[in-house]
Chain A
Amino acid sequence: MESIFSFCFAILIAPLLPAVIQKVKANFGGRQGPPLLINYYTMAKLFKKGSVYSTSTTFVFRMGPVVGCATSLMMLLFFPLAGVAPVFSFHGDVLILFYLMGLGRFFTILAALDTASPFEGMGAAREAFFSTLAEATIFGILVLFYRLTGSLSFAEFFTGTQPIAITGAHGAQLILVIIALYIVMLTENSRVPIDDPTTHLELTMIHEVMILDHSGPDLALIELGAWFKLLFYSGFLAMLLDPFQLQNVWLNGLLFYAVVTFIYITIGTVESITARYKMNMVPKFILTPFILVFFATILTMELIK
Chain B
Amino acid sequence: MDTMFVSLAVILAGGVAALLFARQFTLMKLATIATTSAGCILGLVYSLTNLLSNTGTIGQSWNWLHIFTLAFKVDSIALFFLVPIFTIPPLALFYSFHYMGDKAKATRTAVNYFFFAILVASMALVVTAANIVTFALAWEIMSLSSFFLVVFDYQVKENRQAGYLYFIFAQGGAMLLFAAFALLYHYTGSFAFSSFSTIPEGAKLLVFILAFLGFGSKAGIFPLHIWLPKAHPAAPSHISAIMSGVMIKMGIYGIFRIYLLLEAATPLIGQIVLVTGMVTGVLGVVYALAKQDIKQLLAYSSVENIGIILIGLGIGMVGVSEQNQAMAFFGFAGAFLHVFNHSIFKSLLFMGAGAVLHKAKSKNIDQLGGLMKRMPITGRTFLAGSVAISGLPPFSGFIGEFLIYYGAFYGINNHRIPFILAILAIVSLAVIGGLAAACFTKVVGLAFLGEPRTENAAKSTEAGSSMTMIMIFLAIACLVIGVVPEPFIRLAFAGIKDIPYTAGYDIQAFMEIVRQISQTGAIFIGLLLLISLLRKILYMKKVIGSGGTWGCGFTQPTVRMQYTGTSYAAEIIDFYRPFVPVKSIYTGISKIFPGKTTWETDVEDVAEINFQQHLIQPLLKLINKLRWIQHGKIQLYIAYIVLAIIILLLLL
- CB pair A216–B546 under 8 Å, yes or no, is no
Q: Does B172 make an interface contact (CB < 8 A)? A: no
In the assembled complex, the Cα of A277 lies from the Cα of B523 at a distance in Å of 39
Question: What residues of chain A lie closer than 8 Å to B535, measured between beta carbons?
Answer: 62, 65-66, 217-218, 221
Q: B64: CB under 8 A from chain A?
A: no
Q: Determine whether B139 belongs to the interface, using a CB cutoff of 8 Å to chain A.
A: no
A56–B370 touching, CB < 8 Å = yes
Residue A9 interfacial (CB < 8 Å): no
In the complex, identify which listed stretch (A20-28, A93-101, A172-180) lies at the interface while the others stay far away.
A93-101
The answer to the question of A1 belonging to the interface, with a C-beta cut-off of 8 Å to chain B, is no
Q: How far is the CB of A157 from chain B (nearest CB, A)?
A: 13
Identify which of A60, A90, A105 contacts B513 (C-beta below 8 A): A90
Give the complex CA separation of A132 and B520 in angstroms: 24
Stretch at the interface among A69-77, A189-197, A240-248: A69-77
Tell me if A119 and B552 are in contact (CB < 8 A).
Answer: yes
Please determine whether A91 and B549 come into contact, CB atoms closer than 8 angstroms.
Answer: no
Whether B445 lies near A124 (C-beta < 8 A) is yes
| A5: Cβ under 8 A from any B Cβ | no
* Measured CA separation A52–B544 after assembly (Å): 6
Contacting residues, chain A, for B559 (C-beta < 8 A): 116
* Most-contacted residue by chain B among A117, A124, A283 (CB, 10 A): A117
Task: Determine the chain B residues whose CB is within 8 A of the CB of A283 once the complex forms.
Answer: 575
Given A91-B513, A125-B571, A55:B431 Cβ within 8 A: no
A18 within 8 A of B: no
B398 within 8 A of A: yes
Chain B interface residue count, Cβ-Cβ cutoff 8 angstroms: 79
Report Cα–Cα, A92/B402, bound state, in Å. Answer: 9
User: Which of B433, B524, B575 is within 8 Å of A129, CB to CB?
Assistant: B575
List residues 46-83 of chain A with CB under 8 A from any CB of chain B: 47, 49-58, 60, 62, 65-67, 69-71, 73-74, 77
Of chain A, the residue at the smallest CB distance from B410 is A146
A109 near B445 with CB under 8 A, answer yes
A120 to B387, CA, bound (A): 21
Asked whether, in the complex, the Cβ of A132 is within 8 Å of the Cβ of B549, the reply is no
A116 contacts B369, C-beta separation under 8 Å: yes
Least CB distance, A300 to chain B, in whole angstroms: 9
Question: Smallest CB–CB gap between A77 and chain B, Å?
Answer: 7
Interface window among A30-38, A134-142, A231-239, A256-264 = A134-142
**B434: which A residues are within 8 A, CB to CB?**
102, 128, 131-133, 135-136
Return the contact of A67 from the options B528, B538, B567 (Cβ within 8 A): B528
Q: A58-B373, A90-B513, A132-B431 are in contact. Are A99 and B393 (CB under 8 A)?
A: yes
A103 lies within 8 A of B392 (CB) = yes
Residues of B within 8 A of A53 (CB): 544-546
The reply to whether A90 and B516 contact each other, CB–CB distance below 8 Å, is yes
Q: How far is the CB of B313 from chain A (nearest CB, A)?
A: 20
Q: Does B441 contact A (CB under 8 A)?
A: yes
Residues on B with C-beta less than 8 A from A41 are none
Cβ of B409 within 8 Å of any chain A Cβ, yes or no, is yes
Q: How far in angstroms is the closest Cβ of chain B from A274?
A: 22
Q: A50-B545, A96-B393 are in contact. Are A116 and B441 (CB under 8 A)?
A: no
Instruction: Verify if B383 is at the interface (C-beta below 8 Å from A).
Output: yes
Docked-complex contact A135 and B433, CB < 8 angstroms? yes
Interface membership of chain B positions 422-435, coded 1 if the CB is closer than 8 angstroms to chain A and 0 otherwise: 11001101110111
Chain A residues with Cβ under 8 A from B393's Cβ?
A: 96, 99-100, 103
Given the contacts A50-B543, A132-B431, A135-B431, A122 and B531 also touching, CB distance less than 8 Å? no
Interchain nearest-CB distance for B398 vs A (Å)? 6
A113 contacts B449, C-beta separation under 8 Å = yes
Chain B contacts for A57, CB-based, 8 A? 449, 549
Q: Please tell me if A45 contacts chain B, counting CB pairs below 8 Å.
A: no
Find the residue from B412, B434, B520, B547 having the highest chain A CB count within 10 A.
B434
Contact A132 B438 (CB under 8 A): yes
Q: Return chain B residues, CB-CB under 8 Å to A133.
A: 434
Task: Given contacts A116-B370, A128-B438, list 7 more A-B pairs with CB under 8 A.
Answer: A52-B547, A70-B528, A95-B405, A99-B398, A102-B437, A118-B562, A136-B431
Q: List 14 A-B contacts (CB under 8 A).
A: A49-B542, A51-B545, A58-B372, A106-B390, A110-B441, A114-B449, A116-B369, A116-B562, A124-B568, A125-B563, A125-B570, A126-B571, A131-B434, A143-B426
Nearest first, the 10 closest Cβ-Cβ pairs linking A and B are A121-B563, A113-B445, A132-B434, A50-B542, A128-B438, A90-B516, A116-B450, A52-B545, A139-B430, A217-B538
Measured CB to CB, the residues of A under 8 A from B are 47, 49-58, 60, 62, 65-67, 69-71, 73-74, 77, 88, 90-93, 95-96, 99-100, 102-103, 105-106, 109-110, 112-122, 124-126, 128-129, 131-133, 135-136, 138-140, 142-143, 146-147, 150, 152, 202, 212-213, 216-218, 220-221, 283, 294, 297, 301
